Amino acid sequence: MIGFHVKSPFDGITHYVYGDESWRVNVSPRGGGDARYGNRHATAFFGHHAKQGEIRAEDYINHPGDIAIFARLHLALAESPNERITLDSAQVHELIGNLP
């Protein structure tokens, strides 16, 4: 097919995967061991949710993509930090090791 492709604003978004130097995860504690994890591609919450009940990280360690990384990080941290932190791939790797 011959034609012109008009660039979408989404064509300019840079995507990072775990292991890339620029990959990051934001960890936002919610108290009582609850925490929210997120980056440009995914978000996850582990702990007690008012409507969904207990959301256990153990149930998501084999989930595809960044959710499994967030679950493993939540388990590795054991206690969520007291304030929001941002970790890069190298820091997360130190905490969770290699993914299966």
pLDDT digits (tens, 9 = 90+) for 20-76: 889 999 999 988 889 999 998 899 999 988 788 899 999 999 998 899 999 999 999
> Within a domain: residue 8?
no
Residue 50 lies in a domain: yes
Q: What is the pLDDT of residues 65-99, one digit of tens each?
A: 899 999 999 999 977 678 899 999 999 999 998 77
SS3 label, residue 83: coil
Q: Which of 11, 31, 25, 32 is nearest to 71 (CA)?
A: 25
pTM comes to 0.82
Q: Tokens in use for 43?
A: 């978000």
90 occurs within a structural domain: yes
Whether 70 maps to a domain, the answer reads yes
Q: Which residues sit opposite 88 in a β-bridge?
A: 24
In a domain, 28, yes or no: yes
Q: How many domains does the chain have?
A: 1
Structural domain of residue 74, as residue ranges? Answer: 22-96
- Is 16 domain-assigned? no
